[in-house]
Amino acid sequence: MPCYRCGARQTDPIRGASPWKRGVREERQVLVCPDCQETTEWAAALDQCAACRSASLVCRLGEIECRDCGHVRTAEPGGDTLVASGGTPGLSEEVEAALGRVLRRRGATT
């Protein structure tokens, strides 16, 4: 997952904790690279904990948890809903078959 702000790719830390920070933005988990953490506005663009205003949030299983105070809230459903496949499969074929029967019958009566 690249940095949400500059798009930099995360490099695997050799050991220990990654210097990248996790956060939540528009109900999605995002990562912030060390460079962007040096800016002042990076946290303001992220969702903040309703209890302590921390931007250290983790999004998982429809919940957003604050890593600083442990406050948990339910993630709001975003615009990320699955697009339903259009129409019922096979319906147009059925209509065509019915039309075909009507046309054949009409042709037979004349």
Q: Rule CB under 5 A: which residues touch Zn ion?
A: 3, 5-6, 8, 33, 36, 49, 51-52, 54, 66, 68-69, 71
- Which residues partner with 24 through β-bridges? 29
Interior angle at CA 36, CA 38 and CA 44, nearest 5: 85
Interior angle at CA 61, CA 67 and CA 69, nearest 5: 15
**In 3D, which of 28, 31, 23, 30 has the Cα closest to residue 49?**
23
Q: Minimum Å distance from CB 39 to Zn ion?
A: 9
In the complex with Zn ion, the residue whose CB is nearer, 17 or 83, is: 17
In the complex with Zn ion, the residue whose CB is nearer, 5 or 17, is: 5
Interior angle at CA 33, CA 66 and CA 21, nearest 5: 15
Q: Minimum Å distance from CB 28 to Zn ion?
A: 16
In the complex with Zn ion, the residue whose CB is nearer, 63 or 94, is: 63
Q: Minimum Å distance from CB 77 to Zn ion?
A: 22
Helix (H) or strand (E) run with residue 73 in it: strand 72-74
In the complex with Zn ion, the residue whose CB is nearer, 51 or 102, is: 51
Q: Minimum Å distance from CB 85 to Zn ion?
A: 37
